A and B are shown apart, each in its own frame.
Chain A
C-alpha cells in the first residue's frame, strides 16, 4: 500500500525524442506527487510536482500526466537533450505525513 512502482528501470532515447517514465501507486491517501532528478555525484533535486486535483502540469519541456482513477502518473520530457541524462525518481506523500515514498528510479540516457 505504501509502495510507488516506477518503470522502466533504464531508458535510452535519441536526442530530440520524447522520454516517458511511469509510476503507479496504491494508497489513495497520497496527495502530492513530485519528480526528482539526480545527476551523478549529486543529491536528487526537485524537478516538478503535481497534486491529484489536476490531470497535467507542464514546466518547460517537462510534463507530469496524472490519472487518478488508474492511480498512475508519468513524466514526459519533450525534445530530450543529452543534458537530461540523469536518474529520475517519482515519489508520493500524504498530507498527514511528511515522508516521501520513493520509486526505485529510472536511469535515462539521451543519445546525441
Chain B
C-alpha cells in the first residue's frame, strides 16, 4: 500500500482565495482524520469521519472550513475564503477500527501558505 496520499504537498495562495486539500486514505481503513499543525498550537484535530460519515467537526475553526468524504477512498478539506492565519501544515490520517494496534497512519501533509 502506498500509504495515505495527500495533495498538493505545498500550496501558496492569496488571501480570499478558495483552497482545496485532498486525501486518499489507506484502503480498508474505517477512520479518517484531518489535523492542522502549527508551531503555536501543535496538532489540532479538525474533523474525523467513520465510514465516510462525519463524526466530530468541533475542531473546525469556523464556517470557512468544510470537509467532505464522498467515498471510502477520497476526502477533501476546503477553506473558503482563505486567510493568512490559516497558514499551517494540514495532515490527513487514517486508521482501522482497531487503531490501538496499528495506530494512525499520517500522510506527508500539505503545507499551506496564505499571503
Contacts and interface: CB of A to CB of B under 8 A. Distances in A.
Interface residues of B, number: 22
A32 B101 CA distance: 10
A100 B43 CA distance: 11
Contact of B42 (A46, A49, A104): A104
A43 B108 contact: yes
Contacts of B4: 43
A105 B93 contact: no
A44 B48 CA distance: 17
B99 A98 contact: yes
Nearest to B45: A99
Contacts of A49: 100, 103
A36 to B, nearest CB: 8
B56 A43 contact: no
A88 interface: no
A43 B93 contact: yes
Contacts of A61: none
Nearest to B30: A98
Which of the listed residues B31, B42, B43, B45 has the most CB atoms from chain A within 10 Å of its own CB?
B43
Contact of B100 (A32, A43, A105): A32
Interface in B37-77: 42-43, 45, 48, 50, 55-56
B104 A46 contact: yes
Interface of A: 32, 34, 36, 41-46, 49, 51, 89, 93, 98-100, 102, 104-105
